[in-house]
Amino acid sequence: MISKIVLSLLVLAMASPVALAAFDVIQMLVEKPQYAGFSKLLEQTNVAGEANQLRAASLLVVPDKEMKSLASLPADKLRAAVANHILLSYFDPIKLDEMKTRTALLPTLLSKTDKTLGVLNYTRADDGQMYFGAPGAPCVAKLVKVVAARPYSLSIMEVSEPILPPGFGKPVAAPGRRGKGGKGGKGKIKPSAAGLEEPTGKPKEAAAAPTPAS
């Protein structure tokens, strides 16, 4: 799985202009109709404008078919939820895989106004699959693929479902992740007592302390 994601990243990198430092997240999504709903929310909440002012960012996009729990949020929570899908540094599957630890805390655009909620948990499972989750919520938003990239400036990656903090709506479980007895047989990655996510159904390991990513 990870090899396919890395290959798609390399193809996109070769096709993307690197010379320009500035980027436009809406423009990079304009030919991706499967993310039209997410793109609309980026504009509606002005999160796109804020993201375009960053020197580097990673956008975690949700396909339209999984947008219900995000699009149905009330206005007072919508902007915060969308902003929490923008990481404040450039990440791609290669950079994430090179992290020394399997878990990390990644600051988001929301941290500029809410340092408590404005962070995502990142976890890499034993099989190499990568997941994101809000603090206090299950870490089940799977990194699916790279959608577009301008290396070291902007990456756009698809996740399997919205990443919502507790109280922002009930995340919809991704198909095939229903626990050991369900379809897929891989169980969810649940938050531990310390707020970190670790894969269940595997031999227990000593949990590493969360490492804020640069």
DSSP secondary structure string for all residues of 29-54: HTT-GGGHHHHHHHHHTTHHHHHHTS
Asked, for residue 33, whether it belongs to a domain, the answer is yes
Taking a C-beta distance cutoff of 8 angstroms, is the pair 171, 164 a contact?
yes
Q: How far apart are the first and last CA of the chain?
A: 25
Asked, for residue 148, whether it belongs to a domain, the answer is yes
Work out the average pLDDT over 97-122. 95
* Predicted pLDDT of residue 207: 41
Work out the average pLDDT over 13-29. 66
Domain that holds residue 65: 26-159
Asked, for residue 39, whether it belongs to a domain, the answer is yes
Taking a C-beta distance cutoff of 8 angstroms, is the pair 101, 196 a contact?
no
Which of 201, 161, 204 lies closest to 179 in space, CA to CA?
201
pLDDT for 196 beyond 60: no
Q: How many domains does the chain have?
A: 1
Asked, for residue 44, whether it belongs to a domain, the answer is yes
Alpha-helical (H) ranges within the chain are 2-15, 25-29, 36-44, 47-52, 68-71, 75-83, 93-97
Taking a C-beta distance cutoff of 8 angstroms, is the pair 66, 172 a contact?
yes
Q: Note the pLDDT tens digit of each residue in 81-108.
A: 999 999 999 999 999 999 999 999 999 9
Asked, for residue 150, whether it belongs to a domain, the answer is yes
pLDDT band at 5 (very low <50, low <70, confident <90, very high): low
**2: which 2 tokens?**
């990870």
Taking a C-beta distance cutoff of 8 angstroms, is the pair 163, 105 a contact?
no
Return the CATH number at 147.
2.30.180.10
Work out the average pLDDT over 142-154. 95
Asked, for residue 21, whether it belongs to a domain, the answer is no
Asked, for residue 197, whether it belongs to a domain, the answer is no
Least confident of 34-38, 59-63, 135-139, 144-148: 135-139
Asked, for residue 199, whether it belongs to a domain, the answer is no
